[in-house]
Amino acid sequence: MLIVENPSQDQYDALCARASAPNVEVRSDVAAIIEAVKTKGDVALNELTARFDSSNVESIRVTLDSPTVDDGLSEAILVASRNIEAFHEAQREPVKQVETSPGVFCWRKSVPLERVGIYIPGGSAPLFSTVLMLALPARLAGCPEIALCTPPREDGTIHPAILFAAQEAGVTEIYAVGGAQAIAAMAYGTESIRSVDKIFGPGNIWVDTAKQMVSSDGVAIDLPAGPTEVALLIDATANPAFVAADMLAQAEHDVLSDVLVVALEGFNVAELEKEVASQLASLPRKEIAEKVIARARVVLVDSTNKALALINRYAPEHLIIQMHHAELFAEQIQHAGSVFIGEWTPESLGDYASGTNHTLPTNGAARAFSGVSLDSFMRKITFQRSTAEGLLALGPKVITMAQAEELDGHARAVEHRLADVKGSSVTRSAYIRRATKETNIAIQIDLDGKGRADCRTGLEFFDHMLDQIARHSGMDLSVRCDGDLQVDEHHTIEDTAIALGNTFNQALGDKRGIGRYGFDTPMDDALARVALDLSGRNWLVWDVELTREMIGDVPSEMFSHFFKSFCDGAGANLNIQAAGDNEHHVVESIFKAFARALGMAIARTGDPNVLPSTKGTL
């Protein structure tokens, strides 16, 4: 190991240099491999597999059978899977609609990538843990196609642990091909492997160089993830045996792995050297690790400020902090892929089972890149919608800016609309998205519509009732709900009602100029009385007795719950009484009466500035 005491800042760049930066020869070799795959397809893949992996495979595509692994290993993989899923599921972002200006609404939606490719190193060490780290978040994101490439063993097979992890994580295709040729195949496609939308995964210097080269050709990749590296920030309280073990854990990966130790004065370097030598002697991958340890740097500094400055300059893939009050120092780290805090948190924990993702930026890329996450497997689409009022308020500003940039066409696209808005009454409309773990709902409403309905919730009778609301109130209503109907109807109906109330309330605005109250009593064999007050206070009186368990595909108990949830979302006071011989008619009459009451309550009554309340507020 190289021991350096109190280096000047001029020396920091040299101390942070990795051995894994690709040279001209590597780039030339990788370029030749990529070109061979692009021109010769599967033939090139077979030739390169025989050349680099000493393996002849019968078929590039591997069958996803049921691999056999040791019971202890299968249990460990399943535990790791649960933790990885829990951590990545928590990263899911709900759709948040922001009213940036009055009447102008903006939001962002996550859409999964359709086809992703993951690369799994499998040469000297079959990294089945990386399968979990990449395929599990891809599956959680909703990617329908997950293709995996990994080098075959000499007998042409794939390590069973990789196959087991792939099956557990939801991989849809596996190919026995590794190295830069696998990256080229996923980027450009061959006869056996269709090209993917984005390539993920770590690898050696040739794999990382191939990813960088195909990305310059417009192919999306996750991040620069070459040979692994670790930095350790330690003080006199650190256990030299733990520090030595953490150094060797990364050193055993690859001869191009990198290790940097930054130690505050008082740490026993001599004891560390003894521990490294002792532990290295019995390490099965000693020949690899000792080459890395020979290049490892142990830098002694006399202040925490210098230690933090050097660590942030290095921007490590992995950072282990073994110091007194380690959490305090962790808060000051600006550049790192993943941080391991305290003496009981070895980097191995994150590599396998803590739940965080171990696919991280290397070679200083942590200054600009984050590790793989749920978001890595998604595209973000932004949306915006303006009401007529929103255009009236914001449009003139847009015209001014467009004209200043001498883009008159942009200005006129607003001017034509403003001319129409000013010559007609403003419609009252709203759009809301509401996403939870149980339902994903989108509702659009136009209170001044023509009674048009387009409602799709997965429950046909419920859709029919929502249609009644639109047709008999005169509003236009579109509803989309993707709910967990495999569990129960409850979430779909409740959440749709809440979202409908929210959308309705947003469309009403400040409620000036409306009737506020509504009531109706339609009659067939059933009589329904519905009274409605858009008071801003939620209350439901339900005086209806239903004896049938189901009406259509909706549980009878859910009808009162629908109206209660609507009142909660809209801030409405609702009184419903109904009876009759045919309970289908009873429920339908309730929805028709409710719709008629809504139509009366939202009707414009004259002066648009009058608020229908003696309190002066609703």
The catalytic residue positions are 317-318
The HSE-up count of residue 345 (CA atoms within 13 Å, CB side) is 18
What DSSP state is assigned to residue 224? -
CB atoms within 10 A of CB 65: 9
Residues linked to residue 174 through DSSP beta bridges, in sequence order? 62, 148
Residues 228, 318 contacting (CB under 8 angstroms): yes
- From CA 503, how far away is CA 237, in angstroms rounded? 59
What DSSP state is assigned to residue 233? E
- From CA 314, how far away is CA 382, in angstroms rounded? 35
- From CA 532, how far away is CA 536, in angstroms rounded? 11
Alpha-helix runs per DSSP H in 486-540: 490-508
The HSE-up count of residue 497 (CA atoms within 13 Å, CB side) is 22
532 burial type by CB count under 10 A (0-12 exposed, 13-18 middle, 19+ buried): buried
Residues 569, 505 contacting (CB under 8 angstroms): yes
- From CA 438, how far away is CA 374, in angstroms rounded? 18
Residues 81, 132 contacting (CB under 8 angstroms): yes
Spatial CB neighbours of 1, under 8 Å, sequence gap ≥ 6: 273, 276, 293, 294, 296, 297, 298
- Say how many residues make up the chain: 618
Place of tokens 């740097």: 297
What DSSP state is assigned to residue 514? B
Spatial CB neighbours of 7, under 8 Å, sequence gap ≥ 6: 15, 299, 301
